[in-house]
């Protein structure tokens, strides 16, 4: 699991650009509402950005997050605004998330949250920090948005979602949370 290169324990603000896969998994885990509620009400260093194309993808999947709009900011990014060739096969939501992250990198710490392998590899090539749902759970725990017990419970429930993660990776994440060693 790749961790944000610039992370340290100071109160830096991190912009989390979520794609639809992570939101769908959090919905399947039945924790999206609570996490968004806590992010909106706690003095957290985490700020959520949802690309407009991701909202469209979620609506097509019959998932509505409008009721949580105080917890996130919607951003629109026109692909014509930046001269960059993204690989074919990326969904529109992933493309917009990557382009938003690129545009914000100079201004703040940005992390793309995606479980899409191609999107994460693209982020790596472009030197954009990227985490999957497991990394997001660990990040939420690190920033005290969720407790250690809640983080461990979420990791145990992930095999019951549409997200496939190897048992070895689940064990590794569980061990990191149990031992509080979340960052390199």
> What is the domain class of 14-179 according to CATH?
alpha beta
Determine the average pLDDT of the residues in 70-88: 76
The Cα–Cα gap between 178 and 142 comes to 12
Neighbours of 156 (CB within 10 A): 11
Q: What are the residues whose beta carbons fall under 8 Å from the beta carbon of 131, sequence distance 6 or more?
A: 1, 2, 3, 4, 111, 112, 113, 139
Q: What are the residues whose beta carbons fall under 8 Å from the beta carbon of 169, sequence distance 6 or more?
A: 1, 134
Higher per-residue confidence, 43 vs 141: 141
Least confident of 9-18, 69-78, 134-143: 9-18
Domain ranges of the chain: 14-179
Neighbours of 183 (CB within 10 A): 13
pLDDT digits (tens, 9 = 90+) for 9-29: 456 888 999 999 999 999 999
Q: What is the pLDDT of residue 181?
A: 52
Determine the average pLDDT of the residues in 160-173: 92
Helices (H) and strands (E) in the chain, counts: 8, 5
Q: What is the pLDDT of residue 119?
A: 94
Q: What is the pLDDT of residue 69?
A: 80
Residue 8 has pLDDT above 60, yes or no: no
| Backbone phi and psi for residue 80, each to the nearest 5 degrees, phi listed first | -75, -10
Q: What is the pLDDT of residue 157?
A: 95
Q: What is the pTM of this model?
A: 0.85
The Cα–Cα gap between 98 and 111 comes to 9
pLDDT digits (tens, 9 = 90+) for 94-128: 999 999 999 888 877 999 999 999 999 999 999 99
Neighbours of 32 (CB within 10 A): 19
Higher per-residue confidence, 171 vs 64: 171
- Secondary structure class of 164 (helix, strand, coil): coil
């Amino acid at each position: 699991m790749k961790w944000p290169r610039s992370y340290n324990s100071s109160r830096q603000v991190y912009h989390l650009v979520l794609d639809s896969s992570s939101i769908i998994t959090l919905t399947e885990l039945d924790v999206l509402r609570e996490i968004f509620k806590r992010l909106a009400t706690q003095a957290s260093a985490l700020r959520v950005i949802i690309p407009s194309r991701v909202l469209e993808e979620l609506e097509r999947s019959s998932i509505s997050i409008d009721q949580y709009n105080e917890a996130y900011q919607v951003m629109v990014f026109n692909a014509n605004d930046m001269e960059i060739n993204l690989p074919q096969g990326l969904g529109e939501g992933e493309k917009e998330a990557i382009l938003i992250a690129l545009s914000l990198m100079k201004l703040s710490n940005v992390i793309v949250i995606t479980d899409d392998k191609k999107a994460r590899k693209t982020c790596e090539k472009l030197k954009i920090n990227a985490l999957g749902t497991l990394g997001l759970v660990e990040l939420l725990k690190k920033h005290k948005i969720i407790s250690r017990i809640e983080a461990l419970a979420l990791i145990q429930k992930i095999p019951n979602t549409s997200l496939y993660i190897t048992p070895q990776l689940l064990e590794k994440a569980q061990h990191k949370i149990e031992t509080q060693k979340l960052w390199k």
